[in-house]
Amino acid sequence: MFYPLVFEPRFKERVWGGRRLETLYGKRLLSGRPVGESWEITDRPEDVSVIANGSWAGRDLRWLMEAHREALLGNLAPAAGDRFPWLVKILDARELLSVQVHPPAEVARRLGGEPKTELWYITEAERGAEIYTGLRRGVTREEFERRLREGTVADCIHRFAVRAGDAVFLPSGRIHALGAGLVLFEIQQNSDTTYRVYDWGRRGLDGRPRPLHVPEALASVDFQDFEPGPLPERWEARDGGRRRPLVEHELFCVEVWRWNRSTQLEWGGGGCRVLGCVAGRLVLEGGNEAVDLRPGRFCLLPAALESVRLAVDSAAEVLVVLPGVPGKGA
């Protein structure tokens, strides 16, 4: 009954977005509009992914969670509201994003929002592209608030250059801003709560300044979080290729796989997993269904799928999301 699932992407118009999801990944974007986000797997109240392949094509992830939650998730705990626990996106930042923060769980409960921890994996980076994340060492809350009033708060944020293949972890409470000229895969907790603290004087798609959430942001920022950088790059030989673990957290684990030659292998059941193709091409077969994964395409493997055959054409790079480790990184 269960097989590798592919979903229809949900495109989000953003003032800072571009058109590279079309040119890089063949996405059929909204005509002539700046698209900043493609929600690849989502089970939000306002936006639910529709299955695009196999016998369940046309049904959605909400139905799957209601009818087959245990078979889909295995031991993976659902998000609040009995929803799928992860939100998977591709972002195209043609322009700099706002300086923002996502609330930790206890703050989110107090403010009526949702906690949000996420990981960015950079797939394309223009020369000189940067990420803002965490505070510069020594910055205090008092200095941050003063700089905010003066319009120079960006000088409080630690920033560094990034390139394709870099990964950045953003636990809730970490102040951040995505720089211009970047495309990335985003793996996050199922949440859509963002508190915007500074927006560079920009106007939104309606021509008006976008709303800020300064009190909420100040309540959420971790003012002891100084100068985090990209995640370390450690590779190990595995299954005819190389594996790079990125993060182990109670919400999710993420790793990258690379193969540089034609490879065929079988993966046993490992719980609910999501695969996203970064480069190259691979074919997944399981439950009498085959999925052709090309760059920018994602696939959900239900926990009840006992095994999946994976065939790499000549070379491929794949991002893999797995269930988290209880108590890790909490």
Q: Return the active site residues.
A: 196
What is the spatial distance between Cα 33 and Cα 18, in angstroms, rounded to a whole number? 8
Strand partners, 119: 169, 187
Strand partners, 259: 316
Contact 159, 132 (CB under 8 A): yes
- Report in angstroms the alpha-carbon separations of 314 from 24, 151, 219, 238, 311: 19, 51, 50, 17, 9
Residues 261, 303, 193, 148: is their CA dihedral positive or negative?
negative
Contact 161, 130 (CB under 8 A): yes
Give, in degrees to the nearest 5, the angle at Cα 110 between 199 and 188.
60
Contact 197, 101 (CB under 8 A): yes
User: Structure tokens of 168?
Assistant: 């950045």
What is the spatial distance between Cα 239 and Cα 17, in angstroms, rounded to a whole number? 37
